[in-house]
């Protein structure tokens, strides 16, 4: 009797379903798939297998380096490679270790499980860290001066990532420029940092690769010498205010002088007017005094018109004594006259005298 799939379509469908769901094709996991390690360190891979298996193999760099049977001892081609179960009695997990990794170990690491499991591939990256150095050492500059630092990294693989910090604070990448070049199997990098010096600070250059847990660094001190105090702005302000104040004082002085001059002119005019008025008054009084020409001293009957007496008075021509009849008795006292003021001559007339003094 011959068996054919065409005669059993239902059985064919069941087989296809089991194959696609993984019941027939068994699976396992490999971790990590892209490890990065430093040269000289150890790296581990872990294979987790579902179900029962018999033999597991490991290839590194295209070479079979280790065989792991499920029920016997592990066979290794070198002491650099080793394997074992993750825990005692648990064959579903196997740990594979590469000791003292070198760059020739970099590349694909293949784990294969015989049977229906197939194989899994991880990519091993082996890196190297070199040196970091800021050229020139500590720097002393004047305040606000442009300062430049140059950081050199040597013998790195692959090209390292270079960054800068100032007092432990990251510096903006726009302030520095980094270039790299190959040197055999390694890379050298140069990073130039420029900024304006403001205060004393600590400048650090950092270099790292993915496999390096702690980045390497180099640091220098920046000492900033303060500039002498710039008095230019203050002097300009003081001069401006001083000039404005001087201008105000000058204007006030001009106004004051103008007022004083006006006041002096007014006082001068008043003085001139007063003097003119005084002269006119004196002239008037003098004219009134010259009009009294009737003064005559006792015992003198007449003088020349221009003759000046000893008392300083001018006397007019002709007699200044007026003859009055003796109608008032000389011994009467009630009329306000006395014998010293009124006298009688031999003719019986009384002499009466008036004096005007200027």
296-331 pLDDT, tens digit per residue, is 455 444 444 444 444 444 444 444 444 444 444 444
Name the CATH architecture for the domain at 24-127. Answer: Sandwich (2.60)
Same fold? 24-127, 131-225: yes
- State how far the Cα of 234 lies from the Cα of 247, in Å rounded to an integer: 20
Question: Mean pLDDT, the chain, as a whole number?
Answer: 79
Q: Are 158 and 130 in contact (CB under 8 A)?
A: no
pLDDT for 95-147, tens place per residue?
999 999 999 999 999 999 998 899 999 999 999 999 999 999 999 999 999 99
Are the C-beta atoms of 32 and 43 separated by less than 8 Å?
no
CA 176 to chain centre: 24
Strands of the sheet containing 322-325, edge to edge, are 322-325, 349-352, 343-344
The Cα–Cα gap between 262 and 96 comes to 117
Residue 48 has pLDDT above 50, yes or no: yes
How far is Cα of residue 316 from the mean position of the Cα atoms in its chain? 106
Domain ranges for the chain: 24-127, 131-225, 291-358
DSSP-assigned states of every residue in 205-226: EEEE-TT-SS-EEEEEEEEEEP
Say whether 252 sits in a helix, a strand or coil.
Answer: helix
Identify the burial level of 116 via C-beta atoms within 10 angstroms of its C-beta, where 0-12 means exposed, 13-18 middle and 19 or more buried: middle
Closest to 85 (Cα-Cα) out of 100, 97, 103, 101 = 97
What is the structure's pLDDT at 160? 96
How far is residue 342's CA from residue 346's CA, in Å, rounded to a whole number?
A: 13
Helices (H) and strands (E) in the chain, counts: 2, 22
| Cα distance between residue 208 and residue 161, in whole Å | 5
Nearest to 161 by CA among 195, 117, 127, 203: 127
* Contacts of residue 289, Cβ cutoff 8 Å, sequence gap at least 6: 356, 358
Return the pLDDT at 314: 44
Cβ–Cβ < 8 Å for 305, 317 = yes
**Least trusted range by pLDDT, from 124-128, 182-186, 268-272:** 268-272
Q: What is the average pLDDT across 2-16?
A: 42
Out of 167-181, 234-248, 312-326, least confident range:
312-326
Instruction: For 207, list phi and psi in degrees, rounded to 5.
Output: -135, 140
What pTM did the predictor assign? 0.57
Give the per-residue pLDDT at 165.
Answer: 97
Q: Find out whether 65 and 78 touch, Cβ atoms under 8 Å.
A: yes
Residue 152: its H or E element: strand 146-156
Q: Which CATH superfamily is domain 131-225 in?
A: Immunoglobulins (2.60.40.10)
pLDDT of residue 162: 97
Is residue 352's pLDDT more than 80?
no
- The alpha-carbon radius of gyration of the chain (Å, integer) is 69
């Amino acid at each position: 009797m011959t068996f054919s799939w065409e005669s059993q379509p239902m059985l064919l469908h069941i087989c296809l379903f089991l194959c696609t769901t993984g019941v027939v094709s068994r699976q396992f996991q490999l971790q990590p798939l892209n490890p990065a390690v430093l040269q000289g360190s150890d790296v581990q891979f872990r294979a987790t297998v579902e179900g029962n298996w018999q033999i597991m193999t490991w290839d590194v760099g295209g070479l079979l380096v280790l065989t792991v049977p499920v029920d016997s001892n592990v066979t290794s081609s070198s002491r650099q490679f080793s394997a074992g179960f993750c825990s005692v009695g648990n064959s579903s997990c196997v740990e594979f270790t590469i000791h003292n990794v070198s760059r020739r170990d970099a590349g694909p690491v293949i784990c294969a499980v015989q049977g229906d499991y197939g194989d899994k591939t991880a990519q091993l990256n082996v890196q190297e860290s070199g040196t970091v150095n800021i050229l020139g050492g500590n720097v002393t500059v004047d305040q606000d001066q442009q300062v430049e630092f140059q950081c050199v990294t040597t013998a790195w693989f692959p090209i390292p990532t270079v960054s800068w910090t100032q007092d432990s604070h990251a510096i903006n990448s726009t302030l520095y420029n980094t270039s790299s070049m190959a040197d055999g199997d390694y890379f050298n990098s140069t990073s130039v940092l420029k900024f304006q010096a403001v205060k004393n600070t600590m400048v650090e250059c950092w270099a790292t690769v993915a496999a390096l847990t702690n980045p390497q660094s180099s640091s220098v001190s920046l000492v900033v010498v303060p500039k002498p105090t710039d008095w230019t702005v203050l002097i300009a302000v003081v001069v401006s205010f001083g000039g404005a104040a001087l201008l105000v004082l000058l204007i006030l002085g001009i106004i004051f002088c103008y007022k004083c001059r006006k006041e002096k002119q007014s006082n001068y005019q008043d003085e001139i007017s007063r003097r003119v008025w005084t002269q006119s008054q004196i002239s008037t009084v003098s004219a009134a005094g010259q009009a009294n020409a009737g003064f005559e001293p006792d015992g003198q009957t007449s003088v020349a018109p221009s003759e000046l007496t000893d008392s300083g008075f001018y006397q007019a021509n002709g007699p200044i004594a007026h003859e009055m009849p003796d109608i008032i008795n000389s011994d009467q006292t009630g009329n306000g006259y006395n014998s010293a003021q009124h006298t009688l001559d031999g003719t019986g007339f009384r002499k009466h005298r008036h004096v005007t003094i200027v």
